[in-house]
Amino acid sequence: MLMLQVAHQCGYISVNWTKVNRDMKNTKLHLPKNVYKRSAQSYTNQLFNLVKHNAPITLGFAGGILLGIAS
């Protein structure tokens, strides 16, 4: 979606935004309600796994930031 906006601003393409928005609303209405819930759970699980596996790096980064702020 971002690339469409950039290409439109640069004049490479012409986008009918009313049609895009209408199609997105129709698609949103036809999706099952639990799709959003599953995707949110998926993102939180991925975030927790990332933090769990990179805890030493994260703690070192946070410590460095705090030392930088303190000095």
Domain spans in the chain, listed from the N-terminal domain onward: 1-30, 33-71
Cα–Cα dist 65/31, whole Å: 43
Dihedrals φ, ψ of 29, to 5°?
-70, -30
Please say if the pLDDT value at position 33 is more than 80. no
C-beta separation of 8 from 15 below 8 A: yes
pLDDT at site 59 = 81
Q: Using 50, 70 and 90 to split pLDDT, how confident is the model at 16?
A: confident
Which has more confidence, 60 or 37?
A: 60
pTM for this model (two decimals): 0.35
pLDDT score recorded for residue 38: 65
> Please, what's the largest Cα pairwise distance for the chain?
55
Q: Using pLDDT thresholds of 50, 70 and 90, give the confidence band for residue 11.
A: confident
